[in-house]
Amino acid sequence: MTFGTGIGGAIVLNRQIYKGADGVAAEFGHILTHPLSDAVEGLPFYEKYASTTALVKMAQQADPECIDGKVLFDKIHKGDEALKQILDSWVTEVSVGLASIIHIFNPSAIIIGGGVMEQEDLVQRVEERTKSLIMESFAGVRIVKASLGNKAGLLGASALFAH
């Protein structure tokens, strides 16, 4: 899964990408994670609460200077407590969606990436929070940082072009 402007992902079963009945499976960014009455704008899709775009919007409400993730994390590293709390809320939003996916698929691992996930210890925080939300029988799942980092999409696109 990748957390960026939206939330993207894929399901890999038996070393094959699962495409679903109509070839469009794994629209993880569009799972519903909140009651309809709590909708921010339109339907309460996961990406409206757990994408990097959502994180930056939440941060801008507290500090209008937070125009992107870089500014946000610079301020967090300098000790901004309000932004730390916003990040903590966002980690919970990410984890709620992951917990649902884990309970549905019972995967051995979830690989997460996107520029924001390059932050030190963020993936570990997401894993810890997620494991606090899932049933004990699912606790063996690993949540790991994508080894290709934020370059995965670019490398995947270039691989498709090369064929």
- Tell me the two tokens of residue 4: 């960026």
Whole-prediction pTM? 0.89
CA distances from 143 to 2, 39, 77, 89, 138 (A): 12, 28, 24, 19, 12
pLDDT tens digits for the chain (163 residues)? 999 999 999 999 998 999 999 999 999 999 999 988 876 678 899 999 999 999 999 999 999 999 999 999 999 999 999 999 999 999 999 999 999 999 999 999 999 999 999 998 999 999 999 999 999 999 999 999 998 766 666 666 666 666 5
Q: Which residue has the tokens 């924001």?
A: 116
* Residues contacting residue 51 through CB under 8 Å, at least 6 positions apart: 3, 4, 5, 6, 7, 29
Per the structure, the complete domain to which residue 44 belongs is given by 2-162
Count of structural domains within the chain: 1
- 30: domain CATH number? 3.30.420.40
Please state, in angstroms and rounded to a whole number, the distance separating the CA atoms of residues 114 and 154.
Answer: 12
